[in-house]
């Protein structure tokens, strides 16, 4: 029970804290570029740390990385709440991302190793998205109500203290001991390259829609925030449903990619596309995790790769789509994004996802 509480409340707190700075970023940095840099520094830290953390969790165990990630999260969150310099915030946000990468890679490895991994992964991904939504909404409301910009960051830092403490009372005895072999990394990358590609593209598409919509639509940040929250809520519902359906990975990813083409095009005309894309992303993530659970001896590495490719998609695709929008217009950017989803539908059938390979 302590283990599940640490994992579930831990991922909720880590994700909520990661978004708690977003509603109040203009109060900490004057320029849009600096605000964007502070926001992106977190993802950079998570991107560079998830794979090494996953590999390390296979070598020394998952629990030490879970504890370390939560401790870094608490310290960086408390530091953010008292630091006023935007340039120091850049460094702290990067460190916060490193902590999140350590925790998420090890926690996902733990979740995906237990016998009831499909149900556990559904709860885990649901609480991950619930944390993202809560961080956005609660931090903005708390800052407005108390007139203290950093109060949301302080609140969720306090929340993270709880799983950080309970993390010292958990053990890895519920699952098989992790097996470390650095030589399997390259074969895993090559063997499941189309699965990793689907993670980059289909998760990255959610970031594209989120990043393009405010400027494209011209709506207020408040309205844009509501639609972003609805996307995460639809993902929460989808992962809870998908985790109970035992869907075949390749077919689920292929059909989700096809439907995501329509979701992207719908988003160009209506924000209803947010809900469609959020739900499809939920089905994709559960299908990917369900397959990867079959590689039982190297869960740290595969979950590290899964997290790394997801963060890569969230950082690279919005940037590329933004460049296309600036040079060729928003319609071309949306069409290019939809085409990326088509490439996943065409290539995922070549993945070895039909039968896990032993290394």
Closest CA to 139 of 236, 16, 13: 16
* Stated pTM of the model: 0.86
Span 308-315, average pLDDT: 88
Closest by CA position to 355, among listed 191, 238, 185, 147: 191
Both tokens of residue 148? 């203290």
Mean pLDDT is highest, among 207-211, 260-264, 270-274, for: 260-264
Find, among 20, 11, 7, the residue nearest to 155 by Cα: 20
Higher pLDDT, 119 or 162: 162
Q: Which of 33-37, 120-124, 338-342 has the lowest mean pLDDT?
A: 33-37
What would you report as the CA-atom Rg of the chain, rounded to the nearest whole angstrom?
19
Look at the domain 1-168 and name its fold: Growth Hormone; Chain: A; (1.20.1250)
Residue 288 confidence (pLDDT) above 50: yes
pLDDT band at 339 (very low <50, low <70, confident <90, very high): very high
Contact 286, 239 (CB under 8 A): yes
Q: What SS3 state is found at 29?
A: coil
Q: What is the mean pLDDT of residues 52-62?
A: 90
pLDDT at 182: 62
Share of the chain above pLDDT 90, in %: 56
What is the structure's pLDDT at 221?
62
Are the C-beta atoms of residues 100 and 73 closer than 8 Å to each other? yes
In angstroms, the CA 84 to CA 98 distance is 21
Among 86-90, 213-217, 258-262, 335-339, the range scoring the smallest mean pLDDT is: 213-217
- In the structure, what pLDDT confidence band is assigned to residue 122 with cuts at 50, 70 and 90? very high
Please state which CATH number belongs to domain 181-359. 1.20.1250.20
pLDDT category of residue 36 using cuts at 50, 70 and 90: confident
pLDDT of residue 352: 61
Considering the chain, tell me which residue range(s) the CATH 1.20.1250.20 domain(s) occupy.
Answer: 1-168, 181-359
Q: Residues of the chain with pLDDT > 70: what percent? A: 93
Least confident of 46-60, 217-231, 323-337: 217-231
The mean pLDDT of 234-248, rounded to a whole number, is 92
pLDDT at 28 over 90: no
Q: Return the number of other C-beta atoms located less than 10 Å from residue 98's C-beta.
A: 25
**C-alpha 70 chain-centroid distance:** 16
Could you give the CA distance from residue 303 to residue 56 in angstroms, rounded to a whole number?
12
Q: What is the mean pLDDT of residues 126-141?
A: 91
pLDDT at 32 over 80: no
Q: How confident is the model at residue 357 (pLDDT cuts 50, 70, 90)?
A: very low
pLDDT of residue 356: 46
- Please list the alpha-helical segments (H only) found in the chain: 2-20, 32-60, 62-82, 86-111, 117-146, 151-166, 185-191, 193-217, 221-242, 249-269, 272-292, 299-328, 330-347
pLDDT at 266 over 90: yes
Mean pLDDT for all residues in the chain: 88
Two tokens, residue 139: 């931090």
What is the pLDDT, as a whole number, of residue 176?
47
The neighbour count for residue 358, using CB atoms within 10 Å, is: 10
Cα gap 106→98, rounded to integer Å: 12
How sure is the predictor about 350, in pLDDT bands with cuts at 50, 70 and 90? Answer: confident
pLDDT of 14: 97
Report how far apart the first and last C-alpha atoms of the chain are (Å, whole number).
32
* pLDDT at 173 > cutoff 80: no
């Amino acid at each position: 029970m302590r283990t599940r509480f640490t994992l579930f409340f831990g991922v909720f707190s880590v994700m909520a804290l990661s978004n708690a700075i977003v509603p109040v970023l203009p109060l900490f940095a004057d320029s849009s570029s600096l605000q964007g840099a502070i926001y992106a520094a977190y993802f950079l830290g998570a991107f560079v740390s998830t794979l090494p953390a996953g590999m390390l969790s296979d070598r020394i165990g998952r629990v030490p990385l879970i504890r370390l990630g939560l401790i870094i999260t608490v310290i960086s969150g408390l530091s953010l709440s008292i630091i006023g310099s935007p340039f120091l915030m850049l460094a702290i946000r990067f460190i916060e991302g490193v902590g999140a990468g350590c925790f998420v890679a090890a926690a996902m490895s733990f979740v995906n190793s237990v016998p009831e991994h499909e149900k556990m992964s559904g709860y885990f991904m649901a609480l991950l998205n619930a944390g993202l939504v809560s961080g956005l909404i609660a931090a903005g409301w708390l800052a407005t109500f108390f007139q203290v910009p950093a109060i949301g960051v302080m609140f969720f830092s306090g929340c993270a203290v709880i799983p950080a403490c309970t993390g010292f009372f958990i053990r890895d005895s519920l699952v098989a001991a992790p097996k470390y072999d650095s030589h399997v990394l390259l074969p895993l990358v090559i063997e499941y390259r189309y699965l990793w590609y689907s993670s980059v593209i289909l998760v990255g598409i959610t970031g594209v829609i989120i990043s393009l919509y405010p400027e494209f639509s011209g709506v207020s940040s408040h309205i844009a925030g509501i639609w972003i929250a609805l996307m995460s809520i639809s993902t929460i519902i989808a992962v809870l449903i998908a985790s109970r359906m035992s869907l075949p990975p390749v077919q689920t990813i292929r059909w989700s990619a096809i439907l995501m083409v329509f979701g992207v095009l719908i988003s160009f005309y209506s924000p209803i596309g947010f809900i469609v894309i959020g739900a499809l992303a939920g089905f994709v993530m559960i299908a990917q995790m369900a397959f990867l659970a079959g590689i039982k001896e190297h869960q740290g590495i595969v979950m590290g790769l899964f997290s790394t490719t997801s963060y890569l998609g969230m950082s690279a695709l919005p940037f590329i789509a933004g460049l296309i929008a600036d040079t060729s217009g928003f319609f071309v950017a949306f069409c290019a994004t939809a085409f990326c989803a088509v490439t996943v539908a065409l290539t995922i059938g070549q993945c070895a996802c039909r039968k896990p390979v032993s290394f």
